[in-house]
Amino acid sequence: MIITGRVSSGFGEGAYFMTRDVYLEQFREKLGFEPFPGTLNIETGNPEIVRELRLKADKIHGGGGFGDVLYVRAVLNNEVDGALLFPVKTHHRDVCLEFVAPVNLRKTLKLRDGDTVSLKIMDDESSD
């Protein structure tokens, strides 16, 4: 599955949550990397896509007042392996995706708000 969307600014909360111990060890174990502290927000314009992806997602368990996070492996612009995160507790609209990777995506790919990006969603067979 390939999804396209536009880069948008978020709430600036991603860095805080990406560095919490309750998530960090599970990110390393389940995603295979330590995410750059922050997420790249991608507006899809289609809430159905977001709902469909959430149904396919695996879970990272929260604790200590932090909510669970669902995730789906993906590749951004056919260049950067990472994952889409779906925090159970979120302020984002239902058309927004949050992508994480081990690098600063805005700097690495020279992305700005409004740029169009593509996401290749990895299924169980293609992510191994």
Single-letter residue type at 85: L
pLDDT in tens, 68-82: 899 999 999 999 999
β-strands 116-121, 69-76 pairing = antiparallel
Cβ–Cβ < 8 Å for 86, 62: no
Residue range 80-106, pLDDT digits in tens: 999 999 988 765 567 889 999 999 999
Fold adopted by 2-108+111-121: Elongation Factor Tu (Ef-tu); domain 3 (2.40.30)
Q: What is the mean pLDDT of the chain?
A: 87
Q: Is 83 annotated as a binding residue?
A: no
> Residue 100 in contact with residue 39, Cβ under 8 Å?
yes
User: Is 114 assigned a ligand-binding role in the annotation?
Assistant: no
The annotation status of 14 as a binding-site residue, yes or no, is yes
* Residue 13 marked in a binding site: yes
103 is in an annotated binding site: yes
Residue 125 has pLDDT above 90, yes or no: no
Is the pLDDT at 126 greater than 60? The verdict is: no
The answer, yes or no, to whether residue 35 has pLDDT greater than 90, is: yes
Residue 39, marked binder: yes
Counting residues of the chain whose pLDDT is more than 90, the rounded percentage is 60
Q: In this model, does residue 124 exceed pLDDT 60?
A: no
Does 11 show up as a binding residue in the annotation? yes
Note the pLDDT of residue 12. Answer: 64
- Quick one: tokens of 3? 């999804």
Query: Annotation-wise, does 15 bind a ligand?
Result: yes
For residue 106, say whether it is annotated as part of any ligand binding site: yes
Residue 78 in marked binding region: no
